[in-house]
A = this chain, B = another copy of it.
Amino acid sequence: MSVTLKDVAQAARVSVSTASRALTGTGLTSERTQQRLTRIARELGYRPNPIARGLKTGQSRLVALLVHNLTNASFQVMAEVVQARLKALGYQMLLCIGGDDTQQESDTLTTLVDHRIDGLIVVPTGKNGAQLEALAKDVPIVCLVRRDDATDLETVLADDPQGAYLGTRHLIELGHKRIGLIVGRQDTTSGRERLSGYVRALREAGIAKDDTLIHAGHFVPETGATCARKLLDLPRPPSAIFVANHEATLGVLRVTAERNIAIPDDLSLLCYEDMPWFEWHRPAISIVDNGARDLANLAVDRLLHRMDAKGNGSDGVREYRVGARLVQRDSCRRIEATSAARAGKPKSAASKSKSSAAKPAKV
């Protein structure tokens, strides 16, 4: 079917081994044959068969990226970054969707190693630590975004404590004293870390932590809606909400829209992680950017380092933190000390609620 090394060798009237050496440039061939062979190879349209090569060398030029889903905007940009970087180096990215499902992750990992991937970047579910640890003996692995506490694999993380601190401080600097927090489940690292950053900012500012203002839950829009309602129904509702749980933002926005709460006039809103539509939304939504691009880039760097280092790529560092940064848009507003109590009350009487009753979708 396709032209093989043998064909090239025949055309050049040399042995296969010479052809191989000339084309891979192992320097053991004369300048002349080397050039002649590259020319002939090009003319014949020869492209080495990675399978055959892989069989012999045990490498595949394949690097896998294993993420939970692709709905998460951060994963999207990470995938794109990783793909671009690897491609430039002649690797092909294998993007796998593990679905945050332990069994599936495990299966996928096995398949990947069977395929002799040269490296792996994984967002661990945290339940396959042992397996990951075992695989790490065969394949360079870097963990991304999440740490698997059962392993001591090299991990590239967002600086969630700092990000949450940054965001909370920003709101405090704008004069907010009652800041609602909607955060991820506390059995995840990021959930805990973001909470801790929030608490630290509060403490530094001398604001007492009020547990009624803090809600933790799953990474789904419904959570956002439920939490938002609870917050807004408080006797003294917050003047700002920090949604430190990406997917929950949708739910929060829906509730504010339903209740006709104007952002940022009636309520300041700050979110964690960007979504493409945040800056198109009116008001454009301010965020704490977790630095997905940087995370991905760093993960690739580290992985490549390990792959080069053949076995002992560890530089002793086990954990890398990528700084978060604040992106101010239009959803947070300065508040005067006195007007804090105004929050939560719609500025105009709800007069347009008529059309809110959702029509059931017809086929």
Contact = CB atoms under 8 A, between A and B. Distances in A.
A277 B265 contact: no
Interface stretch (A16-24, A32-40, A92-100, A299-307): A92-100
A356 B329 CA distance: 10
Interface in A13-52: 47-52
Contacts of A358: 284, 329-330
Contacts of A116: 49, 51
A258 B282 CA distance: 7
A250 B280 contact: yes
A71 B76 contact: yes
Contacts of A51: 51, 54-55, 60, 115-116
Interface range for A: 35 or more
Interface stretch (A183-191, A192-200, A320-328, A337-345): A320-328
A15 B312 CA distance: 38
Nearest to A48: B114
Contacts of A50: 114-115
Interface centre among A50, A251, A356 (most CB of B within 10 A): A50
Contacts of A281: 253-254, 257
A97 B163 CA distance: 30
Interface string A96-130: 11000000100110111011100000000000000
